Amino acid sequence: MTPKLEEMGPALTTEAAGGPSGVRLRRTPLTWVQQGGIGRLVFLLPLLLVFGAFSWYPIVRLVLMSFQYTNLVQPPTWVGLANFSAVIHDPLFPIAVRNTAEFAGLALVFGYPIPLIAAVLISEVRSRRGLYSALAYLPVVIPPVVSVLLWKTFYDAAPNGVFNTILGWVGIGPQPWIQSQSAALPSLVLESTWANAGSTVIIYLAALTGVNRELYEAASVDGAGLWKKVWHVTLPQIRTVLLVTMILQIIGTAQVFLEPYLFTLGGPANSTLTVMLLIYDYAFGNSLGGDYGKAAALSLMLVAFLAVFSLIYLRVTRSWSNQ
């Protein structure tokens, strides 16, 4: 049974009737202009144009492309879900996913605690704190490509390579580093941790200044040492920041591209092939024209995975953040 108009509520009836009411005024183009709508639009326009041209349009285009076969030279053809199917059946796909997960995992195990430890130590020192912060941040200032090329020489597998010389001093033989299928990925994580830790250190240092000093004093009175103070005061106080940096790091490492591209091109024997590098290979690996449909499909799959993962992460950690 269809409800009568009057039964649907006063707001709707007054709006629909257009009559005077204290609830809502009917908006017309004239009232919009009178209320300064044009001014707002003018201020918004540059933003809308920039985002439209460089973000939203490419996003829409990417979604469309994931359902097309196109090399951007000949007209595209619609292929339904064939691109997604081709990606999933590509023997390189599971390798890329596994490598990316391994990179993210190793970065989490080794790369995540290091900035925290560094920040806590820096915040504890009494003098030259600025100098230590600057030193921790320095690798971030070096252009990433320069860092990688620098580390490539450090990783020289010859016995007289930089790292191998250092290992030689303590009686360890030369290591193959990025020339070995098993050592290449951890070597990339090592460089990536060095290069990226600085930004996180600065975030933690800022968060640490927000921790009430009285809590530390109270803990000291209760006989807590440094470790107990960190565990019972520092970490709980900055947990919101910790949770945010963790999800940012996971999202960042799931999209790792620069290191495998510049160090190894995904080698040796695909041992450092990541999802982003596979996307790149689909798009640009063939000089006769890329398979942009497959590249778009895999990009979309990565976005979907990260979006779902982030939602679950936020849901799971919500209660911890709010404690």
Partner 1 sequence: MKSNIRAMKFKTRAITPIRIGAAAAVMGLVAVAAAGGSASIAATTKAKRVTITVASLVPGASAAATKQFNNQVLEFDRANPGIQVLPVTYDWTGPTFAAELAAGTLPTMFTVPFTDGRSLGEAGQLANLTKYAKSYSWFKQFNPAVIAEGIDAKGQVIAIPEAAYAQALQYNRQLFSEAGLNPNKPPTTWAQVAADAQAISAKTGEAGFSVMGANDNTAGWILTTLSYAFGGRVETGIGAKATATFDNPGTVDALNFIHTLRWTDNAMGSNFGLSWGTSNAAFAAGQIGMFVSGSDVYTNMVQADNLNPSIYGLAPLPTENANAGILGGGTLAAVKPTATPAQIAAAMKWINFYYMQPLVNKAQAIRNAKSLIADDQPVGVPAMPVFNLKTFNEANKWIKSLINTPQSQFAPFNDGIFKDKLVPEPESATQAIYGDLDSVVEQVLTNANANIPGLLQAANSVGQSSIAEGNQPS
Contact positions vs partner 1 (CB under 8 A): 71-74, 91, 156-159, 161, 174, 176, 178-181, 264-270, 280, 283-290, 292
Rounded-to-integer distance, Cα 310 and Cα 68, Å: 28
* CB-nearer residue toward partner 1: 174 or 186: 174
From the CB of 268, what's the least distance to partner 1, in Å? 4
Instruction: Give the contacts of 14 (CB within 8 A, at least 6 positions apart).
Output: 21, 23, 24
Please classify residue 3 by burial: count the beta carbons closer than 10 Å to its beta carbon, then call 0-12 exposed, 13-18 middle and 19+ buried.
Answer: exposed
3-class secondary structure, 20: coil
Residues facing 69 on adjacent strands = 77
Closest to 280 measured CA to CA, from 263, 267, 264, 261 = 261
Rounded-to-integer distance, Cα 75 and Cα 288, Å: 15
From the CB of 292, what's the least distance to partner 1, in Å? 7
Closest to 113 measured CA to CA, from 183, 177, 188, 204 = 204
From the CB of 42, what's the least distance to partner 1, in Å? 33
* CB-nearer residue toward partner 1: 85 or 286: 286
From the CB of 104, what's the least distance to partner 1, in Å? 22
Rounded-to-integer distance, Cα 70 and Cα 297, Å: 12
- The two tokens of residue 76 are 């595209």
From the CB of 303, what's the least distance to partner 1, in Å? 22
* CB-nearer residue toward partner 1: 47 or 158: 158
* CB-nearer residue toward partner 1: 37 or 268: 268
Rounded-to-integer distance, Cα 279 and Cα 295, Å: 5
* CB-nearer residue toward partner 1: 144 or 174: 174
From the CB of 169, what's the least distance to partner 1, in Å? 19
- The two tokens of residue 8 are 């649907």
Rounded-to-integer distance, Cα 18 and Cα 43, Å: 31
From the CB of 291, what's the least distance to partner 1, in Å? 8
* CB-nearer residue toward partner 1: 123 or 270: 270
* CB-nearer residue toward partner 1: 1 or 73: 73
Tokens 């941040």 locate to 137
Rounded-to-integer distance, Cα 315 and Cα 319, Å: 8
Q: E strands within the chain? A: 68-69, 77-78
